[in-house]
Structure 1
């Protein structure tokens, strides 16, 4: 995420490190490179210029030149201004209403349908509400079927009408059905187009006027950069929506959309999608994102993700096993499942301060876990519970059963033993224990 921008900003700040004394000249040179980095990230020129001008004014105003650590102070100013540019603080979703109606809008291919299901899952898990999805996209082939499949995955009902009914009527009837069945949140997935056109705008405006949503969210593909910002402005002129959702942020190495949208439409980024799974949705925190862009990591979000998978009773049992040196391959396998639920492994590693730079040139294969799981599942229950009995003949059988080389089996067993030491040192089955396991997987 934003690797190119992070790399260029680090090079910009390196200018200060290369001088024994900080002057107005090399501060100006640094900010010139910062502006160039923002432009390369597809940030609007006017926004990039205003950003660096603001940073310069604050830097000189805070006497950066006479500071004992001028480089660090300048980085802090850039970080704070970048967070402010993206909105300053997280913005919660409005769920007022009986039921609360959330209208989802955007272009075709932006990920509206997938996001609708992700939002329903989020509201159900995090807010304790009882949502219903309404399939109002009657134009895209299989859009209704896609939403139904996603709804089944998260156990959320989907209202749809087989007939070719007007989307406005579908939205109305969906809300009526939600009231009848006792659902307190209705999420309406509307149709998109390949480009902005008058018919689409009239239709979404009519739905908005009719259902009077408590929240209207505009979904945009972050990878489209400045085009995403232009589309956001066009939609806002018609809908006056409440917030923006950036999808496919995990594949965006530039970051222009995230940095420009708030300044362009003056609407908060509320959510970001970072994967295909229905739980791959995060509340957007501008300050945390600024930290990640500047290579400072995002430990708070990492801990929050880990805590979602944290079970106090299971943690207590695991602590006891670690303390008595009885941590086995079954425990190891269960911990891997917890890590996988937390999200993309490379993205998780990037949340650790300093690690993002170390792994940026490494291709961390998400399928690597499958090889480990295959080896563990090729062990007998007795072998998983008693790793010390794994002799040469057993290892050979496991390698054959998992389709892996014997050297991979030996390597995994060594990693497992090293990890047992790490886990015992940390004495924690919660978030820190998971982080330790992640480090062990990389060794």
Structure 2
């Protein structure tokens, strides 16, 4: 998970409060000291840490908090709100031109993942806006930079404009923009050169490209793993180019979180996207409130819902919901759901997005080995069509045959069938809005209640959509 270290430290700092019914001023001061150390260890800018702790302490020591019935939960909410505020309050959309093309200039140091981010952003625009982007290869210094962009362009079926490595980058951009005007591309993404560090030659070149292209967006790509250095880089680029936003990359690595918590406060410029993973669809809009929830172990149901809507076919989802309701969910559906979930990301990450699971001690070492998923598929594929549709047929002799056919020990086959039956039962309970069997896992604190509220909301929305579909169907008939 992104910010794993920071998340663990902050949750540990707040754990003492969670166990208390009444909270004293000394409890607050002790917690603030722990939070301060957690932020500094995560490489958050010292000035940002100082302001953050000061604001939280002032609000937490208020009489209306300490004298309330739930002071610990209110203080956790104050920390959550301050984290959200520090990272920017709300998601900030891309700036768009009143006429095509919208020009996006990508800048950053070498090794930050700039060229890959150009590809990811172009895919994001195609998927979400049905855009027709043109990529301009203006990095003539880094070996194979142009070839890398061409490979990405071929992979995404996006045109790449280049003039080789012997032409001035400003001229490449000039002719690239002319090409975009002819082709009527609605977006132009300029992949500029980077350096190992900020230098005058680089900044002059970027300033000249800016003066020529008049970009609607100047997005700074920053490696989140560089911590405090990322803030210094952002400050340097902003002073010379007046950037419009930031893209944080490598958020899936062992990042300490300092960049995300510092950049907005230091530069005043929003983080617009975050990159997690190497795949071209591994770029997400940055939501400060959702990230604050994840850092504090409160999960991130909204991102989970977004991922589900993106990867699930509505008709297919409704068919599965009907099967769950009728208790006819079988192994064919189980395999389909495994494939759908795999498209959303790793199971480890998905589970941590569910409120109550994220900071549950039992989830600390939770890990799903991809080999286990492959084994489960092998078990199902070794079943006959009748056995997949009717799991009740799986008597001991059939299970031994499936074990031999899949190359998986009989114990694993029995475990998998047991897990299937448990999952089927849990999904049926969730559909009916009954979470009594899950309360032990989710807990009764603020995170647990958030989880139950979010899940109940999902169920109500699903039932409401079904009623709407039935009304429409009745009207047309």
Which residue, out of 358, 365, 374, partners 1:361?
365
- Distance (whole Å) between structure 2 residues aligned to residue 276 and residue 211 of structure 1: 29
For residue 65 of structure 1, report the CA deviation from its aligned partner: 2.3
Change in 2 beyond 3 A, CA 1:387/1:63: closer
Say if 2:373 is the partner of 1:372: no
- Distance (whole Å) between structure 1 residues aligned to residue 179 and residue 393 of structure 2: 60
Structure 2: state its 5+ residue gaps: 433-453, 460-477
TM-score by length of 2: 0.83
Q: What secondary structure is seen at the aligned counterpart in 1 of 2:305?
A: helix
Query: Given that residues 280 and 343 in structure 1 are in contact (C-alpha distance below 8 angstroms), is that contact kept between their aligned partners in structure 2?
Result: no
My pick for the range that moved more, 340-349 or 294-303, is 340-349
My pick for the range that moved more, 26-35 or 318-327, is 318-327
For residue 2 of structure 1, report the CA deviation from its aligned partner: 1.8
Aligned to 2:11: 10
Q: What secondary structure is seen at the aligned counterpart in 2 of 1:217?
A: strand
Q: What secondary structure is seen at the aligned counterpart in 1 of 2:100?
A: coil
Change in 2 beyond 3 A, CA 1:289/1:381: same
- Distance (whole Å) between structure 1 residues aligned to residue 162 and residue 401 of structure 2: 52
CA deviation string 1:84-136 (max 9, x = no partner)? 11111111111224100111111111111121111111111122322222222
Change in 2 beyond 3 A, CA 1:132/1:41: same
Which residue, out of 327, 331, 334, partners 1:332?
334
Query: Given that residues 18 and 73 in structure 2 are in contact (C-alpha distance below 8 angstroms), is that contact kept between their aligned partners in structure 1?
Result: no
Change in 2 beyond 3 A, CA 1:380/1:279: farther
Aligned to 2:260: 258
- Distance (whole Å) between structure 2 residues aligned to residue 339 and residue 199 of structure 1: 47
1:19-30 alignment, distance < 5 Å: 21-30=22-31
Say if 2:136 is the partner of 1:134: yes
For residue 212 of structure 1, report the CA deviation from its aligned partner: 1.1
For residue 226 of structure 1, report the CA deviation from its aligned partner: 0.5
Query: Given that residues 227 and 255 in structure 2 are in contact (C-alpha distance below 8 angstroms), is that contact kept between their aligned partners in structure 1?
Result: no
- Distance (whole Å) between structure 1 residues aligned to residue 407 and residue 140 of structure 2: 46
Which residue, out of 98, 112, 115, partners 1:113?
115
1:221-370 alignment, distance < 5 Å: 221-358=223-360, 359-370=363-374
My pick for the range that moved more, 79-88 or 175-184, is 175-184
Aligned to 1:63: 64
- Distance (whole Å) between structure 2 residues aligned to residue 7 and residue 322 of structure 1: 36
Aligned to 1:441: none
Say if 2:49 is the partner of 1:48: yes
For residue 424 of structure 1, report the CA deviation from its aligned partner: 3.5
- Distance (whole Å) between structure 2 residues aligned to residue 265 and residue 232 of structure 1: 7
Q: What secondary structure is seen at the aligned counterpart in 2 of 1:356?
A: coil
Aligned to 2:443: none
- Distance (whole Å) between structure 2 residues aligned to residue 42 and residue 163 of structure 1: 38
My pick for the range that moved more, 286-295 or 11-20, is 11-20
Q: What secondary structure is seen at the aligned counterpart in 2 of 1:98?
A: coil
Aligned to 2:447: none
For residue 314 of structure 1, report the CA deviation from its aligned partner: 1.4
- Distance (whole Å) between structure 1 residues aligned to residue 23 and residue 425 of structure 2: 46
Query: Given that residues 83 and 290 in structure 1 are in contact (C-alpha distance below 8 angstroms), is that contact kept between their aligned partners in structure 2?
Result: yes
- Distance (whole Å) between structure 2 residues aligned to residue 177 and residue 111 of structure 1: 26
- Distance (whole Å) between structure 2 residues aligned to residue 168 and residue 52 of structure 1: 46
Change in 2 beyond 3 A, CA 1:373/1:146: farther
Q: What secondary structure is seen at the aligned counterpart in 2 of 1:91?
A: coil
Aligned to 2:421: 417
Query: Given that residues 108 and 194 in structure 2 are in contact (C-alpha distance below 8 angstroms), is that contact kept between their aligned partners in structure 1?
Result: yes
Which residue, out of 408, 411, 418, partners 1:407?
411
Which residue, out of 180, 183, 205, partners 1:181?
183
- Distance (whole Å) between structure 2 residues aligned to residue 144 and residue 396 of structure 1: 56
My pick for the range that moved more, 267-276 or 392-401, is 392-401
For residue 384 of structure 1, report the CA deviation from its aligned partner: 4.1
For residue 20 of structure 1, report the CA deviation from its aligned partner: 6.2
Query: Given that residues 141 and 165 in structure 2 are in contact (C-alpha distance below 8 angstroms), is that contact kept between their aligned partners in structure 1?
Result: no
Say if 2:201 is the partner of 1:199: yes
Which portions of structure 1, spanning 4 or more consecutive aligned residues, are displaced by more than 6 angstroms?
Answer: none
My pick for the range that moved more, 118-127 or 143-152, is 143-152
Say if 2:80 is the partner of 1:79: yes
My pick for the range that moved more, 154-163 or 241-250, is 154-163
My pick for the range that moved more, 415-424 or 392-401, is 392-401
Q: What secondary structure is seen at the aligned counterpart in 1 of 2:252?
A: helix
Q: What secondary structure is seen at the aligned counterpart in 2 of 1:94?
A: coil
Aligned to 1:170: 172
Change in 2 beyond 3 A, CA 1:189/1:432: farther
My pick for the range that moved more, 380-389 or 313-322, is 380-389
Aligned to 1:439: none
Q: CA RMSD in A?
A: 2.7
Change in 2 beyond 3 A, CA 1:192/1:407: farther
For residue 149 of structure 1, report the CA deviation from its aligned partner: 2.9
CA deviation string 1:420-442 (max 9, x = no partner)? 333344449xx979x99xxxxxx
CA deviation string 1:373-396 (max 9, x = no partner)? 344445565654454555666655
- Distance (whole Å) between structure 1 residues aligned to residue 145 and residue 406 of structure 2: 38
- Distance (whole Å) between structure 1 residues aligned to residue 358 and residue 316 of structure 2: 30
Q: What secondary structure is seen at the aligned counterpart in 2 of 1:251?
A: coil
My pick for the range that moved more, 226-235 or 393-402, is 393-402
